[in-house]
Amino acid sequence: MTEQSNNGGRAGANLSPRTIWLLIAVAAAAMIGVFASMATSLAIRDLQASQYQVIDQLKALQEAIAALNAASAHQQISPPPAPAPAPTGQKRGTR
């Protein structure tokens, strides 16, 4: 019989408990790294979406300001009326 037959085909039968715990820790660390990377990717995607929204809002604001400037440039604004002359306090014909 081969050694594989003797241990029932279990590949980890000759590994020490310390080695098994080390492999479990490495696998857990790799999974945590993958999850952290996915969370970071989602955060970056959300940040980019927010940036695009801000850019769109700024463009809309610039267009609104340009429209207001154009409207005020075309609007006829009449000058204020001239003030009435101040009375001098003297009657006409008297000097």
Whether the predicted model's global pTM rises above the 0.75 cut: no
pLDDT at 82 over 60: yes
Per-residue pLDDT tens digits for 48-65: 999 999 999 999 999 999
Domain ranges, ordered by start, for the chain:
16-72
- CB count within 10 Å of CB 15 equals 13
d(CA 70, CA 67): 5
- 7 residue type, one letter: N
